[in-house]
Structure 1
């Protein structure tokens, strides 16, 4: 069946809806002969275990540049790096050197943020070259992390299967990696992931790190933290960035040869860090680059991260810099046919096909064994131009004891008291929140048009990611006609607006004397806001119709839901993988608020992008719980909207204490809450109900600096829907 947009596009240019009605009447038989569109289905729920995360193919370098920018910005926002947190002094402490035959090992701790310590060991060659290459070594979820020491039975198995050559390397493949790289002339920093080895500040009293999978008031798994995009993954990524700062501050290192390599969770950190920070010149993530399972820990997941992208995309961010990877008999076993060919094609298109490589070794279980490490040594030998004979093979080494590795001792006491556990979590949430507020303050009080542009660059980019979609291009959003009724004084039509953002049931009311203006009526009541239980026009719709407006009313996604229905079904959780952490839901799926904003964006595009329909003026009205939704959509649509009328009802994201609330959006408070959403609507002429100059001061400042029109409707002029309709009629 043709869409109504296409039908209208084939009509001659019309100046009044009356003529349109006459022509549409001749199409009545056609419209009713076809089956009406089905109701918009519940949108597919994605998760880290069962979903498929393919790479989005690109056809040219130019197309890749656009796609790469999208992946990078989403990743930066998801990691809490927009704006970039303040880099405070590291206050690095290096002590307790241990001597080995041809390398040394130092104990290191430094502060990635005030009061939070990154701990690890620094391996250095005894006879370094003029400039030492640098390799960061984050580890995965191996038992005891940096202190890993496999038992005798495990050692025998590793050697028997050909996974390892030496007993010491089998006991600790993590130490083996660092020792060999130091012997190759590299400065190697092996640092703890959160809650492992010397990273004691995130272990509970029993040393159990599983406390990271449950709600904690004001801690990392709480509405407070999610609203600010603070979390384990974000902190661990920040630790990696600061670890890079640390190693590049060491004397004698070569900033032109910087590597990062790790397996499993360490592979996740490797590809994220190298994608975010171009100071990494060659990356080698192991057993993690995959189109399947994306990483199961809270330290590998965060809100917004894997919406429309996944681990193949993160690996691709390193291009055209060299990247190598390995597979195993795990979620990476199909990489040779799913994912790697895309990376190979990308690197070939960029003119550096030899800068991407992979070892396919699905006969081994999840690992970073000698076979995989050998591939990594040869990778760095090649790209760092070390000049060693290949294959570069490990030699046996003397294993370090836990005492020799631990950074804490009597002279350097481990954190205690309020520096560990929940009190430490709360302190970090507070630090990141206050740091963001300090950086956002100038953005929320712009004085010049340049300030407004900067606001959109940061806050606007943040909200773009939080909503998770761009405006559909011309022709991408169309309306499929389902049913049409001639109601005498007006035409009532129903159907589905579809675009790349999804589909939304939409009701249209057309007066027979049209003023060439459309009111996009956005309400959480949906059609019930313009048609009462008897199918008659509501007072609001009656008044707008009398003024000659046509009305488009989308039934926003799951408009009757009170909690996020992607998570809850009759009060029961649909998924068993949340562990109390919102990032397992919002890291893979848009929030319900975002889904609804995207419905409005699709509706705006459908109305404005039909050349033949000739809508001269588009008004957006946000009422009955949908005010912030309408503002968010207009903030993205901008020039496609002539005027916005919004009743906020005093809503603020900061008041929400339930991450499954229908309006909860991770990061909404970080990016300025409702006042920032209103600010981003400038320069669209905007009228706001239920707010004062003081309550939306950022918007008042933004509209003033940009010389745009912002009007406030006080209680004396009515309230809610009545006030919006009155303002629309009088101030259009």
Structure 2
């Protein structure tokens, strides 16, 4: 087919919304302080008009980009490690880590329609309690033993499962060879189901959210808001879970062979095909049509989710199905180059298993975006070969007797939508409730439940916050040394320049001060005012800094990503752009600002650890820098040289974040325990002192006993931890 009017509108609105989102605007929700240091200041690293060589300062990736590359591993051991990492990333992004409870489906099957050699029935069941998946079940009339089952998600066809092509379009499909029969020209979606049933398969064709009979939640979804993002509730995750439950339903049928399961869909249905096959080990054969590519990655909110495609693309997600048989079709759309961009990468992965012949792709550039009879016949041949169907290859699609769309509807007077059906708001509330129940079970109970907590957090935290401290191998430094004369201390050693990390392209403006009485201990002093907080407006050392240096400590500071010099002379609003209509469009491909800043702190700590002259490292911060510092603590899985951690968190809690433009916005933060679980997964310092603690409604006395029950890292749990709800003026305190 060519793209439906609805899908074209979906993509057009996406492009419009993202264009609007990139216009500079003064947004009150953006709480980042404006830091505009003088170019001649002592803390300044860059020369006037000098650009910061930070590879992260660039136009954000977006689904509309023409090229999304991915380089696959070239040895099996590396791939298997990467595969597990990517499967976890996909699950986390979909809000399916851990997997939601799989309650009874309570299916209803009714209204059988007989078409001679196959039948069609109407089905609805509960994927979540009160959320109904609807569809049609096609079964062959004559069969023996157990037979293959095939799931068919439909994609963005106008009216979805009920699609009927307008007469002009149907005639055009016949004229250009896209369709062989008038029935298929008018009803290309039904044609696929009918032929697969005739081949001896049980076929379940189910609705995408907001299409056909699935009207409880609109296709745009209930989940395009900040609270949903903080809990990783999204339309893609809901549809993917519906696909998993649809597979549960299909496998519950006694005639279905669990060892012969296929999945095929086109466009958005192609997305659901490879998403399901990436997360669920039960499918055996897959054919995602006109979706897998290095081009546009999916234009609808149902195809994007925060963290999903960071550092990868749809080709990488499709590769997670390896080494099972996978074939794809392309057309004169974003998949037109699948044979030369996408298929070679997949063949690289399949060759690692010795199964290169089990992956294939073909594009038909003479046709626009479609799942026409030409592509369907390629799919039938693939299913015949790998599901061991009794038919000749190639198979020519037969004519069939379509069912009028109104007769396919699953709800009628005798079978109304059940009274317990949930609205979008009610479903979101239920998802929050079950997620909290799962969390409480992991956190509040000892024994085996803790192992589940550890598994969940060890999978989720790297997705949200990036690499651990031990994974940062080498930090390069381009520093210039000079002296600074202070009226009270005398001569100080001053080093400033850039810390560079090749893995993420970071270039971090950095400053280091050391007196002649250096005791081998360094205080990494972080603040929202960045490096310049060490100095007065006149360029003198602030008194707490001076006294700390007099006590023998060196002091280091840096500009975190998109602050001070990292802003490149622009405003924060100009440099940090988020699609507020649906933040998942932005964070599907790009890391949150807070993640970058966490990594900058880890990079700086790692640099100091590499110095032979440094014997101990202390970390001190307030404001947003304290939030990033505590989260960085959660990724410090080695104790080397770490001393004291002192932070003033200013009563911060992720539940207070109300805008995706907030520098502290972190998708998934509330799902995984908020600041304290994410930030105290590790306790590598000798002591941790936290001021301005906010517990999201919990009192300190309620929270403190829980801490010892869930922090059990044998490597890094050594800190003495003190928490105070009152703030402390850390910026004015001398380190002693």
TM-score norm. by structure 1 comes to 0.86
Match of 1:494 in 2: 496
In the TM superposition, residue 566 of structure 1 has moved relative to its aligned partner by: 12
What does 1:682-697 align with in structure 2 at a 5 Å threshold? 682-685=683-686, 686-691=688-693, 692-694=700-702
1:140 to 155, 179, 195: 155
CA displacement, residues 485-520 of structure 1 (integer Å, 9 cap, x when unaligned): 343432122111111232211111123232222222
Q: Provide Cα deviations, 1:648-684, integer angstroms capped at 9, x if missing partner.
A: 2210011112122111111111111112123312354
Pick closer, same or farther for the CA change 1:586–1:566 going to 2, 3 Å.
farther
Q: 1:159 corresponds to which residue?
A: 174
Look up the match of 1:440.
Answer: 439
Kindly indicate whether the alpha-carbon contact (under 8 Å) linking 1:307 and 1:468 is maintained by their aligned counterparts in 2.
no
Give, in angstroms, the shift of residue 344 of structure 1.
1.0
Please state whether the residue corresponding to 2:647 is helix, strand or coil.
Answer: strand
1:197 aligns with 2:212: yes
For 1:463, the equivalent position in structure 2 comes to 461
- Secondary structure of the corresponding residue to residue 624 of structure 2: coil
The 3 A distance-change label for structure 1 pair 382 and 342 is same
Cα-to-partner distance string for 1:134-154 (whole Å, 9 max, x where unaligned): 110001111111001112211
- Say whether 1:112 aligns with 2:127: yes
Runs of 5+ unmatched residues, structure 1: 1-30, 204-208, 213-218
Out of 172, 193, 197, the position equivalent to 2:187 is 172
Instruction: Pick which of 674-683 and 396-405 moved more.
Output: 674-683
The residue number in structure 2 matching 1:702 is 710
Change (3 A) 1:579 1:454: closer
Per the alignment, residue 101 of structure 2 pairs with 86
Shift in alpha-carbon separation, 1:119–1:477, aligned structure 2, 3 A: same
**Cα 1:127–1:683 shift into 2, 3 Å:** farther
User: d(CA) in 2 for partners of 1:714 and 1:176?
Assistant: 66
Aligned partner of 1:528 in structure 2 is 532
Residue number in structure 2 paired with 1:594: 595
Q: Secondary structure of the equivalent of 1:315? A: helix
Q: Which residue of 2 aligns with 1:664?
A: 665
Please state if 1:711 is matched with 2:721: yes
Does 1:478 pair with 2:468? no
Residue 687 of structure 1 deviates from its aligned partner by 2.1
Please state whether the residue corresponding to 2:189 is helix, strand or coil: helix
How many residues align? The count is: 672
Give distance in 2, aligned partners of 1:541 and 1:452. Answer: 43
Show the 5 A alignment for 1:358-373: 358-373=361-376
Structure 1 230/713 Cα, relative in aligned 2: closer, same or farther at 3 Å? closer
Shift of 1:704: 7.8
Structure 2 SS opposite 1:120? strand
Structure 2 CA distance for partners of 1:50 and 1:567, relative to 1, 3 Å: farther
Distance in structure 2 (CA, Å) of the matches to 1:696 and 1:176: 61
Give the whole-Å Cα distance in 2 for the aligned partners of 1:560 and 1:452.
Answer: 42
CA distance in 2, matches of 1:519, 1:177: 66
Residue matched to 2:393: 390
CA displacement, residues 339-392 of structure 1 (integer Å, 9 cap, x when unaligned): 111111211122111110112212210000111011111111111111321111
Secondary structure of the corresponding residue to residue 441 of structure 1 = helix
Q: 1:315: which partner in 2?
A: 318
Matches for 1:204-603 after TM superposition, within 5 Å: 209=219, 212=221, 219-414=222-417, 419=421, 424-445=423-444, 447=446, 454-471=452-469, 473=471, 475-482=473-480, 484-487=482-485, 488-499=490-501, 500-501=503-504, 502-559=506-563, 569=573, 578=579, 580-603=581-604
Once the two structures are TM-superposed, the CA of residue 124 in structure 1 deviates from its matched residue by: 0.6
Q: What secondary structure sits across from 2:233 in the alignment?
A: coil
Q: Aligned partners of 1:534, 1:550: CA distance in 2, in Å?
A: 21
**1:547, CA displacement in angstroms?**
2.9
Residue in 2 that maps onto 1:11: none
Tell me the equivalent position of 1:181: 196
292-301 or 126-135, which deviates more: 126-135
Where do residues 610-689 of structure 1 align in structure 2 (5 Å cutoff)? 610=610, 613-640=612-639, 642-643=642-643, 644-685=645-686, 686-689=688-691
Contact kept, 8 Å, 2:639 with 2:684, in 1: the verdict is no
Moved more, 236-245 or 343-352: 343-352
Contact 1:446-1:705 within 8 A present in 2 as well: no
Q: Identify if the C-alpha distance between structure 1 residues 324 and 96 changes in structure 2 by more than 3 Å, giving closer, same or farther.
A: same
Taking a change above 3 Å as real, the CA distance of residues 440 and 51 of structure 1, as seen in their structure-2 partners, is farther
**CA contact under 8 A between 2:309 and 2:589: conserved in structure 1?**
yes
Deviation at 1:632, TM superposition (A): 1.2
- Which SS does the other structure have where 2:327 is aligned? strand
Partner-residue secondary structure (3-state), 1:627: helix
Ranges in structure 2 where 5+ consecutive residues have no aligned partner: 1-44, 694-699
**Shift in CA distance, 554/166, structure 1 to aligned 2, threshold 3 Å:** same
State the distance in 2 between where 1:321 and 1:539 align. 66
2:74–2:348 contact (8 Å) kept in structure 1: no
Distance 1:334-1:568 versus aligned 2 partners, 3 A rule: farther
* Match among 88, 106, 131 for residue 146 of structure 2: 131
